[in-house]
A and B are shown apart, each in its own frame.
Chain A
Amino acid sequence: MKPLLILVGADKGGVGKTTTSRALLDFLARRNILARAFDTENPRGTLHRFYPNITEIIDLQEVRDQMKVLDTMQEAAVKVSVVDLKAGSMSRSLETFENIGVLDAARSGDFDMALFHVVGPSIASLDEMGEIAQYTKGISYIVARNFINETNFFEWDEKTFKKYFAGLSNAREIEIPKLNEMAYEQVDLAGVTFSDFINNRKPNGRDANYSFVLRGYVRKWISDLEAEFDKLDVVKALMTPQASAEEEASAGEDDE
């Protein structure tokens, strides 16, 4: 299996980026796909709080930390690396990756690469899509529209979104559905993964006493979100590595 580097980013904070990373790691775990994660929320590490065993806090501007992620991809037993990019650092990180040849290596097939760009309710979120278009050619670019919070307060309508989206020939689109606020808050307070919350488990694996209703809300949300992830070629490739990798490559050629 070819290594896969997944970046999850947004140039604005509070759009649900880390939630998307968490959901993605949960999704991979439930599919028995081993993944390692890098949290660039240095030094706090929100993602690290939920996945302490597989997450390392790094500073992506540090060469040493870039090496930790990139130089180990081929050798690491775990082939999927998820990098949760610090809020506001997506463009800069992509620029860095472009400059040190990471994006070119992905384009030439040394490894697979996907960017989950989480967009929130503001027009600025849409503008980001145009700003990073130069970096997304030849990689899997996924625009994740986040409905998890402020669902009713989008500054943009569907027409505006489609206009922005139409300018990106290789972009795929998914929706992060809304999760009941109280359920979200309880998972956060519990400091567990979404899967553990659903399964009523504490971080140490012992039985917990989470609300039946809130667990139900999270289960439904995860199920809806998985349906969104399942639509993506890059995810399909993980399920059937050989066939889908070729599919992805030919799709990339078509896009160009």
Chain B
Amino acid sequence: MAGYFPASSRIIDFSRTGDQVLVFDTMVDEPDHDYVIDLQDNLLKPFFNIYHDIAFDAGAAAAGITVSVYFMLDRTLTSVRAAAEVSRLAAGASFIPVRNEAIGNILAIPEGARLYEGIRKNREIMLPRLSIDALNLIDDPQFSFSGFVARNGEGYPLELKIELFQFLETIYNQRRADEAGGPVTL
């Protein structure tokens, strides 16, 4: 994240209380910004345990902040169980499980599908599989989706341009109609 957005990102050590204060207090004190927290997988549970313990849901609501949790699922039962736990701990937040077509489908496993069904979720997102060329392109620190869209894909090979627009459109169209932004056509 910091590599792609150096000006607006900060690397923090969430095991340190001072950094926890930096994250949560900043959000509550300055609620007029949007904040994205990219969580390392091993910090997922500690983060949401603290989130739950300090009643961040209530604090966020009082400050007028809407919290959305995008949970990246892989194809393991551990992952879907963790999703269920996080959904429970962040009860006041929107919970959106995100599956990635490229890494397999947890729903193909009956137990996984059963567990997934039981998770409280506001909606779900499926990320379409991208080609190697497209993945290489978006991995470039100079690349940004907003820049790509703003320049209408100018300067990119046509096949990649079409693939990336379809990728974005597929994701955006998984929003509900009543959500901010709603479904879009690019």
Contacts and interface: CB of A to CB of B under 8 A. Distances in A.
A182 B59 CA distance: 20
B160 interface: no
Main secondary structure of the interface of A (DSSP, over half): helix
A166 B48 CA distance: 38
Given A217-B54, A219-B54, A212 B17 contact: no
Nearest to A221: B53
Interface in B11-51: 17-18, 20-21, 24-25, 28-29, 50
B55 interface: yes
B56 interface: yes
Contacts of A215: 54
Contacts of B55: 216, 219-220
A214 interface: yes
Interface residues of B, number: 14
A186 to B, nearest CB: 10
Given A181-B17, A182-B18, A217 B53 contact: yes
A180 B25 CA distance: 16
B48 to A, nearest CB: 13
B45 to A, nearest CB: 16
A212 B18 contact: no
Contacts of B25: 211-213
Contact of B21 (A181, A213, A220): A213
A220 B17 contact: no
A214 B53 CA distance: 11
Contacts of B18: 182
A220 B53 contact: yes
A211 B59 contact: no
B59 A212 contact: yes
Contact of B53 (A211, A212, A216): A216
A180 B16 CA distance: 11
A183 interface: yes
Which residue of B53, B55, B59 has the most chain A CB atoms within 10 A of its CB atom? B53
A18 B53 CA distance: 24
Contacts of A180: 17
Contacts of A216: 24, 53-56, 59
A181 B16 CA distance: 11
Interface string A179-199: 011110000000000000000
Contacts of B50: 213
A183 B17 CA distance: 9
A212 B65 CA distance: 14
Interface in A184-242: 211-217, 219-220
A39 B24 CA distance: 37
Nearest to B23: A213
Nearest to B27: A212
Interface of A: 180-183, 211-217, 219-220
14 contacts: A181-B17, A182-B18, A211-B25, A212-B21, A213-B21, A213-B24, A213-B50, A213-B54, A214-B21, A215-B54, A216-B24, A216-B59, A217-B17, A220-B55
Given A216-B59, A217-B17, A219-B55, 12 more contacts: A180-B17, A211-B21, A212-B24, A212-B25, A212-B28, A212-B29, A213-B20, A213-B21, A213-B54, A214-B21, A216-B54, A217-B54
9 tightest CB-CB pairs across the interface, nearest first? A216-B54, A182-B17, A220-B53, A212-B28, A213-B21, A213-B24, A212-B25, A211-B21, A213-B20
